[in-house]
Structure 1
């Protein structure tokens, strides 16, 4: 019992120190995108995950952020790990377990200062609050529930004046139905941002309500844009939860950064795999390989890669993984399934 009390005191002191440090850099957070998801543990206990994407600058991304649980309580949560990604993106991951008192509808949310600068459809974006919210319904008659999760990151490059189709690839482990709709990005008090504008398109901007395709036909102006999509979860015709996912896309006149592996001379096989994956490549020197799981956690990192490299995934849990491959010419992105 004494050890538990001491651990709690140490944790509070650690969070207090982080709070003081964070207060010195809040204005430089530079949020770009993110979402909140949750996983049922037991009873009324849930594991809540926050993933936010920021610029890669030294001060970008708070080491500590307040998560509000929707039951009148909140907690300062320390960042568990971060992953540096191409195109000046950094993924910041936070996780905490929370126990609710009983059934009800709970709005899990965050608010923090400082979106990144120059977002064309959010006036004065660098001074706007970045907010996210997810609704958790605890209803004994409908059964236990975990939120969907997303296989694809909430950002990308878009070619100006061209058809762009993006899908978050939301996965619901419980087999519940999902629906999708465009919504406004959130700011103060997790309300729509004042003067928020949907990005301009020479034809249309829409979301397929059934499969979740974001269809931008065709972007007009080069620059950064933030688009929010609300993913609603349904069971037996009853809404049991929702997530507002804030995504950032850059409209460019020439695509750069992460390339399509299928167009390169690198071959990864077999896929799906039970244990071993092979890398065959010609014309490119692979300098770096990173394997990341669906939560964004770095699982494996390898440098000094040999031609015809073999990696053993036998100790990995079954599921979907992302492979980032840095060559002497480009950065490639690929998805592999471990069965």
Structure 2
């Protein structure tokens, strides 16, 4: 009996110990793995780890594992705690404060109802043994924080890069901490603020949270109780429960070009998502990073919070707010000024607004000023002159902290992304040389609502005038001008393109002639002939001509006719074109009959006839008579 009691006691002790270890093992609330280039083939890796203060203590080291698709070489390095300070100039391991002053989190008081997070940076220096177009480095930690939407298990993040194409590249990094707090059933927006130090293009997407050992491969950790969710959890619209009446399959949305995510959480509790940012240079994928984010969704009973709104102000100078594309539009090398208003309806609201203009490479040179900080309405105004390297889509990310500090004392944070599209100078493509009568397509870029015309205002050789890419069929060297009507606020909204005629067989131009029916008209093209070259002539139509293929020709026209002449040479693919028109005089007739009138009376004279005549009224025999216009067909 005593022996049985002893065994039972041991079992109970072991079970309690195991439960205690399991309860304390969860502490990985978020993190990512990034790298920076030092020199040559040497890089410094940083593992940013966000520890839940309610879990076990952080580990003194972690393992960094690397592999590639080019060889079987692997890399294993120990990541040690970074000895210096971390942004924004605090000690490594400092709590990421979301509580108001006077309010404690779990980092300050283990009995606090407000979750607390500490930020730790680990680092290792790696010299790459060789170049490859696909390296994968990863870190695995035991264990993930509990989440409502995904299973617990090993925490796994990875980064990839291509040192074959982009040796010397540094990875993107995130400027915002991955610990957003929101309230159940309340619309929310957040941006991790991915920044690329090299100014490469970034694309953001939501991916499945991963688990796996160091070196991977990382695999989806799995949904928590997948059959219990209605609608089912899944990407991209419902990574945790966000279904609403307006969005029955999930309200989660992430804009890849900006990284802005928005949703309405409908399940209170911690929710884990993974955000992947891919880095492109000249259209080539050169790397990616994955960040694990834990969204803290609070029960409405803990929320006394009014979300902020953002709207453009009337102040826009040398720029334009496009409400259709929801972006600011501006121009290269042209100073812009614009303002937005951030406001809350909370009568005692205290908003603190900041932005990424000082950390974003694409926004270099921008200055942002604020008025009304720590009030319920803040206006921020941006001033910027974009350069040639700053055209295209750029993102100003605005972070809004509500420090009203209603109970339970959480500082809520939102993010708003303001897309700014900087138009380069409009360009027309491309100057070219063609044969007379050939077709060539012109193209306009970097604008909208285009208007084309020939220099001087004509449009006869253009297939269309209000299109992007007209086809033109000129017979002489000509300059075409295109204007972007959609960017009239830009000084560089016009460009031109020259279409030059290549050398053609030379000959005299044939004149247009006015003559009488039956008169003979002689033509001589007088081709400037080169030795050994065969010339071919075609006259169309051949009506009234003595020949249809002669250099010299004779016409005896009985009606008006227009000849089209084409001259080609055996040493030139280009042909020359000419026209020769014959207009026949149709005669004239005085319509006014003979009359007897008294001296001094007036009479209306009238004649009909060919407009090509020169008319002059007179009397026969000569007499004193005044004509209102002797050259008109119907003088008085």
Residue by residue over 1:270-316, the C-alpha shift from the partner in whole angstroms, topping out at 9 and shown as x without a partner, is: x9999xxxxx989xxxxxxxxxxxxxxxxxxxxxxxxxxxxxxxxxx
C-alpha contact 1:26 1:113 (8 A) present in aligned 2: no
Separation of aligned partners in 2, 1:228 and 1:267: 28
SS of residue matched to 2:176: coil
Aligned counterpart, 1:73: 75
Are residues 157 and 332 of structure 1, via their aligned partners in 2, closer, same or farther at CA, if it must alter by over 3 Å?
A: closer
Are residues 281 and 107 of structure 1, via their aligned partners in 2, closer, same or farther at CA, if it must alter by over 3 Å?
A: closer
Are residues 102 and 272 of structure 1, via their aligned partners in 2, closer, same or farther at CA, if it must alter by over 3 Å?
A: closer
C-alpha contact 1:229 1:245 (8 A) present in aligned 2: yes
Aligned counterpart, 1:236: 282
One of 116, 140, 143 as aligned partner of 1:88: 116
C-alpha contact 2:182 2:412 (8 A) present in aligned 1: no
One of 25, 28, 51 as aligned partner of 1:28: 25
SS of residue matched to 2:169: coil
Aligned counterpart, 1:193: 221
Separation of aligned partners in 2, 1:266 and 1:238: 41
Aligned counterpart, 1:164: 188
Range moving further from structure 2, 43-52 or 187-196: 187-196
C-alpha contact 1:29 1:61 (8 A) present in aligned 2: no
The alpha-carbon deviation at position 106 of structure 1 amounts to 1.3
The alpha-carbon deviation at position 332 of structure 1 amounts to 5.3
Residue by residue over 1:5-52, the C-alpha shift from the partner in whole angstroms, topping out at 9 and shown as x without a partner, is: xxxxxxxxxxxxxxxxxxx99962510111111111111111111101
Residue by residue over 1:33-75, the C-alpha shift from the partner in whole angstroms, topping out at 9 and shown as x without a partner, is: 1111111111111111110111114733212111113351212
In the alignment, structure 1 residue 207 sits paired with structure 2 residue 218: no
Separation of aligned partners in 1, 2:410 and 2:186: 23
* Superposition pairs of residues 14-25 of structure 1, within 5 angstroms: none
C-alpha contact 2:41 2:168 (8 A) present in aligned 1: no
* Superposition pairs of residues 1-339 of structure 1, within 5 angstroms: 28-57=25-54, 59-70=56-67, 71-80=73-82, 81-85=92-96, 86=98, 87-104=115-132, 105-117=134-146, 119-123=147-151, 125=152, 128-139=153-164, 141-142=165-166, 144-188=168-212, 189=216, 190-195=218-223, 197=233, 198-202=239-243, 203=247, 204=250, 205-216=252-263, 218-254=264-300, 255=303, 330=409
Separation of aligned partners in 2, 1:138 and 1:267: 41
Are residues 115 and 151 of structure 1, via their aligned partners in 2, closer, same or farther at CA, if it must alter by over 3 Å?
A: same
The alpha-carbon deviation at position 206 of structure 1 amounts to 2.7
Separation of aligned partners in 1, 2:210 and 2:34: 17
Aligned counterpart, 2:487: none
Separation of aligned partners in 2, 1:41 and 1:226: 33
The alpha-carbon deviation at position 148 of structure 1 amounts to 1.0
The alpha-carbon deviation at position 158 of structure 1 amounts to 1.8
Structure with the greater alpha carbon radius of gyration: 2
Are residues 272 and 215 of structure 1, via their aligned partners in 2, closer, same or farther at CA, if it must alter by over 3 Å?
A: closer
- Structure 2 residue runs without a partner (length 5+): 1-20, 68-72, 83-91, 99-114, 225-232, 234-238, 309-341, 359-366, 368-372, 376-398, 416-636
C-alpha contact 1:29 1:62 (8 A) present in aligned 2: no
Are residues 146 and 256 of structure 1, via their aligned partners in 2, closer, same or farther at CA, if it must alter by over 3 Å?
A: farther
Are residues 199 and 138 of structure 1, via their aligned partners in 2, closer, same or farther at CA, if it must alter by over 3 Å?
A: same
Separation of aligned partners in 1, 2:304 and 2:279: 35
Range moving further from structure 2, 108-117 or 141-150: 141-150
TM-score, with structure 2 as normaliser: 0.37
Separation of aligned partners in 2, 1:114 and 1:249: 17
Residue by residue over 1:181-207, the C-alpha shift from the partner in whole angstroms, topping out at 9 and shown as x without a partner, is: 111001023221134642121123232
The alpha-carbon deviation at position 265 of structure 1 amounts to 5.3
Separation of aligned partners in 2, 1:221 and 1:327: 25
C-alpha contact 2:351 2:402 (8 A) present in aligned 1: no
C-alpha contact 2:136 2:158 (8 A) present in aligned 1: yes
The alpha-carbon deviation at position 219 of structure 1 amounts to 1.6
C-alpha contact 1:152 1:168 (8 A) present in aligned 2: yes
TM-score, with structure 1 as normaliser: 0.66
Are residues 165 and 48 of structure 1, via their aligned partners in 2, closer, same or farther at CA, if it must alter by over 3 Å?
A: same
Are residues 223 and 265 of structure 1, via their aligned partners in 2, closer, same or farther at CA, if it must alter by over 3 Å?
A: closer
C-alpha contact 1:177 1:234 (8 A) present in aligned 2: yes
RMSD over aligned CA atoms reads: 3.7
Are residues 193 and 266 of structure 1, via their aligned partners in 2, closer, same or farther at CA, if it must alter by over 3 Å?
A: closer
Separation of aligned partners in 2, 1:58 and 1:226: 16
C-alpha contact 1:29 1:60 (8 A) present in aligned 2: no
C-alpha contact 1:225 1:248 (8 A) present in aligned 2: yes
